[in-house]
Amino acid sequence: MDPLLHTTRRTPAKDLVAGGLQSAGMTSSGPRPEARRGDDSKKAAALQALYEKYNTCTRCPLGNSRIKFVFGVGNPDARVLFIGEGPGYEEDRRGEPFVGKAGQLLDKMMAAIGLSRQTAYIANIVKCHPMVNPQAPELRGNDRPPTPEEVETCSPILQQQIAIIHPKIIVTLGSPSSRRRA
């Protein structure tokens, strides 16, 4: 059992958040100035190179039906990385993770603990929109969870993102991302 993902005693969420942020060199208002790590430009360049390497990927069927490759967004030097399962309808059109209703909720949750899309990094396990009917990408409600094979195919991209960003805290969002350990 991974101690970062599971706890045997109940602790109020606000205490977990405060403790987690402090141990990651952050305060509720964001990163402590003395806690900066690494060189943003080197990490940004490495993420851009990774994006360029995979943005035309068709190693699984998702790559053939997507509208946009949804790589990730945020601070390359983030201490907190949020990982979701995969892009949905809105994300597929904009090329950015968590921009639909779930993204609006995530933005509010991050703001409540002093984070934002500028201080955290947001990515997904799979980078292309898993659809029930790939022949109809224009349909809303055509979303499905990624298959284990799709997750496995995209896993090297996410693992490289994690290695580049090197966050102190990884927050998994949704069932598939919580089951998968990078």
Banded model confidence at residue 123, pLDDT cuts 50, 70, 90: very high
- CA distances 157 to 128, 135, 140, Å, are 12, 25, 27
Q: What's the whole-number mean pLDDT along residues 71-98?
A: 96
Name the 3-class secondary structure at 35. Answer: helix
Is residue 109 included in any domain, yes or no? Answer: yes
pLDDT tens by residue, 86-95? 999 999 999 9
Eight-state DSSP code of residue 131: B
Residue 1, domain member (yes or no)? no
pLDDT (average), residues 79-107: 95
5 is a domain residue: no
Beta strands in 12-128 (DSSP E): 26-27, 30-31, 72-74, 80-84, 121-124
Mean of pLDDT values over 124-149: 92
Residue 108 lies in a domain: yes
Count up the domains in the chain and report the number: 1
Find the CATH number of the domain harbouring 76: 3.40.470.10
Structural domain boundaries, residue 148: 59-179
In a domain, 98, yes or no: yes
- Reading the block at residue 89, the tokens are 């309808």
Does residue 39 lie within any of the structural domains? no
Residue 115 lies inside a defined structural domain of this protein: yes
pLDDT of residue 74: 97
pLDDT digits (tens, 9 = 90+) for 152-180: 999 999 999 999 999 999 999 987 555 65
Do the domain assignments include residue 82? yes
